Amino acid sequence: MDTKQILTFITLAETSNYIKAADRLNYAPSTLAKHIRSLEEELGTKLVEHRENRIRLTREGERFYAYAQKMMETYWEAMEKVADPVCLTGGVRIAGGEPIVGFSLSPFLLDFSNQYPKVSVNVQMICCARVPAWLRGREVDMGYIYEMEQLEDDVFERVSLYNEPVWLVTTPGNPLAEREQVRYQDLQDQKFAFTYDDCCFTMAFRDRMRQRGIAPASELFLGSVSAVINSVTQSDRIALIPHSTLPHIPGASGLVRLNWVDEPLRSWVQIVYDKNRHLSHVEKEMIRQARQYAATLVEHDGEGQLHA
């Protein structure tokens, strides 16, 4: 049996849709159909059927699904133990917050792609809060997200990379830039720019403001770090920017980090994936190297603000 055909069958069983399965595997739908037909011919039985406008497994297909998973697990284990990592092929689909995959870890993703040119790395930048839904829908293989705490549940596995502070930044023209100390009460009637209202550290910060009765003059939610920085530079707004992200943002070098002395705002950078899904050799290698890269960031952080 061809492992590509087996993987096609497993993916089709998980998505119940040829288009979604083709998108995940980067095959044409017609190629997937050929894979399924070849398996059915080899096994001498029908594995899938169309029912209620969806692809369903037949009774024989459901029986074969368990064996198919075991075969692929054995295949990936052999690849992990025996295969030369330099020869990695395949693909990985990632969804993550822009500060992480677009800035802080972008050098790592670039190095990984250069190291393994036969691996397709597909990155989608979305709000971290939406990554779990994408994982549940099998739209991506793993997520790179911020979380305020190290959480555990029965659905997702989390790999913590590092913990970092989230800074308040603004322009030198904002009066708060000259303050020796900045507290919550100093933020009354200030203008803010954020990426998303459901970003975990944005939610935490705004909750703390409300609890203290602090009301901003205005709030912009722009969905993009670059757009946030532009709004800060153009109108002296205040933004929340993670520590490891700040050095990588074009145009942010002229901004001022406020000397925030109240309750610190810190967040975890984590890799998250479905516990019930077997990781490919490519995904395992990416996680391994991401942890190494994160350890390097922590070690070489001149301010000692990054914690493992």
pLDDT recorded at residue 84:
64
pLDDT recorded at residue 152:
85
In this structure, are 262 and 276 located in the same domain? no
Q: How far apart are CA 167 and CA 164, in angstroms?
A: 10
pLDDT digits (tens, 9 = 90+) for 193-252: 999 999 999 999 999 999 999 999 999 999 999 999 999 999 999 999 999 999 999 888
**Residues near 303 by beta carbon (within 8 Å), at least 6 away in sequence:** 243
Place of tokens 């190629």: 31
Let me know if residue 209 belongs to a domain. yes
Tokens of 244: 């490891």
Let me know if residue 260 belongs to a domain. yes
- SS3 percent helix, strand, coil of the chain, rounded to 5, is 45, 25, 30
In this structure, are 277 and 241 located in the same domain? no
Q: How far apart are CA 177 and CA 175, in angstroms?
A: 5
Point out the residues of the chain with pLDDT beneath 70. Answer: 80, 83-87
Which of 82, 99, 120 lies at the terminal end of a domain, its last residue?
82
Let me know if residue 235 belongs to a domain. yes
In this structure, are 192 and 243 located in the same domain? yes
Beta bridge partners of 268: 147, 163
Which of 82, 102, 130 lies at the terminal end of a domain, its last residue?
82
CATH code (residue 37)? 1.10.10.10
As a residue count, the chain comes to: 308
In this structure, are 235 and 180 located in the same domain? yes
Let me know if residue 201 belongs to a domain. yes
Which helix H or strand E contains 15, and what residues bound it? helix 3-15
Write out the residue range of the structural domain in which residue 75 sits: 3-82
In this structure, are 254 and 276 located in the same domain? no
CATH code (residue 281)? 3.40.190.10
Q: How far apart are CA 142 and CA 156, in angstroms?
A: 10
Q: How far apart are CA 289 and CA 298, in angstroms?
A: 14
CATH code (residue 228)? 3.40.190.290
Q: Which residues of 260-270 are buried (b: 16+ CB within 10 A; e: fewer)?
A: beeeebbbbbb
pLDDT recorded at residue 253:
87
Beta bridge partners of 122: 93
In this structure, are 175 and 248 located in the same domain? yes
In this structure, are 90 and 124 located in the same domain? yes
In this structure, are 176 and 239 located in the same domain? yes
pTM of the model: 0.77
How many domains are there within the chain?
Answer: 3
Let me know if residue 187 belongs to a domain. yes
Place of tokens 């967040």: 267
Let me know if residue 308 belongs to a domain. no
Let me know if residue 255 belongs to a domain. yes
Q: How far apart are CA 77 and CA 229, in angstroms?
A: 45
Spacing of C-alpha 120 from chain mean position: 16
Coil, helix or strand for 42?
Answer: helix
Tokens of 161: 């990379």
In this structure, are 12 and 77 located in the same domain? yes
Let me know if residue 305 belongs to a domain. no
In this structure, are 135 and 282 located in the same domain? yes
In this structure, are 120 and 261 located in the same domain? no
In this structure, are 224 and 294 located in the same domain? no
Which of 22, 53, 82 lies at the terminal end of a domain, its last residue?
82
Coil, helix or strand for 23?
Answer: helix
